[in-house]
């Protein structure tokens, strides 16, 4: 099974996320926090509560999490309509992998509904057999990786992600990691590396997965 991180690996939705959060926050509070895509990128890969802590740390904990939950719900509908930017080669390479019988899933530390918003906005649900997210299970990424593997009867998998937390989670789950080096961060100990998504099939062969 190929298990993908989402933000920084398959796409960049930071513009749509920042826009949606600014709209919701202005409507809810009357104030403009002026979030920009770089604010979002810096927090990609963290759980939604961690993001709320970083972006709304001036608010009492109860208020910041309540505001984040409202942002998440609005963000999902906004992204379903407006989408994000797929990285170069993602659509073509996923089609190639699907065509040779690769079993694929998505696991992200995002809110519930975000992966479905990605799949719907990009018309990609047919490529993936399963997905899981922090917001639905309350579990961290390593546990969600294990969960997806277990419920699909998979004992061999590789995780593709772009930040060190992705590698840490995949290794905790007992599987190798391929670093998407075009993404939002760095990985020190990945078993493989791709500088563009289209390099993935060759890298999978190199590490002995395909």
Whether 104 and 150 share a structural domain: yes
Whether 135 and 176 share a structural domain: yes
Residue 27 CB partners (closer than 8 Å, separation 6+) = none
Q: What is the pTM of this model?
A: 0.92
Segment 83-138, tens digit of pLDDT = 999 999 999 999 999 999 999 999 999 999 999 999 999 999 999 999 999 999 99
Q: Residue 68's closest CA among 118, 123, 24, 113?
A: 24
CATH assignment at residue 199: 3.40.50.1000
Helix, strand, coil fractions of the chain, as percent rounded to 5: 50, 15, 35
Whether 7 and 38 share a structural domain: no
Domain that holds residue 198: 2-12+85-206
Segment 60-83, tens digit of pLDDT = 999 999 999 999 999 999 999 999
Q: Which of 61, 82, 103 is the last residue of a domain?
A: 82
Whether 195 and 91 share a structural domain: yes
Domain count of the fold of the chain? 2
Instruction: DSSP letter for 173, please.
Output: T
Confidence at residue 48, expressed as pLDDT on a 0 to 100 scale: 83
């Amino acid at each position: 099974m190929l298990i993908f991180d989402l933000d920084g690996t398959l796409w960049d939705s930071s513009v749509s996320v920042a826009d949606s959060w600014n709209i919701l926050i202005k409507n809810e509070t009357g104030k403009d926090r002026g979030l920009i895509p770089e604010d979002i990128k810096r927090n990609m890969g963290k759980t939604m509560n961690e993001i709320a802590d970083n972006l709304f740390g001036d608010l009492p904990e109860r208020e910041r999490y309540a505001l984040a939950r409202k942002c998440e719900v609005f963000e999902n509908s906004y992204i379903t309509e407006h989408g994000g930017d797929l990285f170069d080669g993602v659509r073509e390479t996923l089609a190639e992998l699907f065509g040779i019988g690769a079993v694929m899933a998505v696991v992200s530390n995002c809110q519930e509904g975000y992966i479905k918003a990605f799949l719907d906005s990009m018309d990609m649900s047919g490529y993936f057999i399963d997905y899981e997210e922090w917001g639905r299970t309350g579990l961290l990424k390593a546990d969600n990786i294990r969960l997806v593997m277990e419920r699909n009867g998979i004992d061999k998998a590789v995780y593709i992600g772009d930040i060190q937390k992705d590698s840490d989670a995949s290794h905790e789950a007992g599987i190798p990691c391929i670093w998407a080096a075009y993404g939002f961060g760095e990985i020190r100990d990945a078993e493989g590396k791709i500088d563009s998504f289209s390099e993935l099939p060759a890298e999978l062969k190199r590490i002995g997965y395909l």
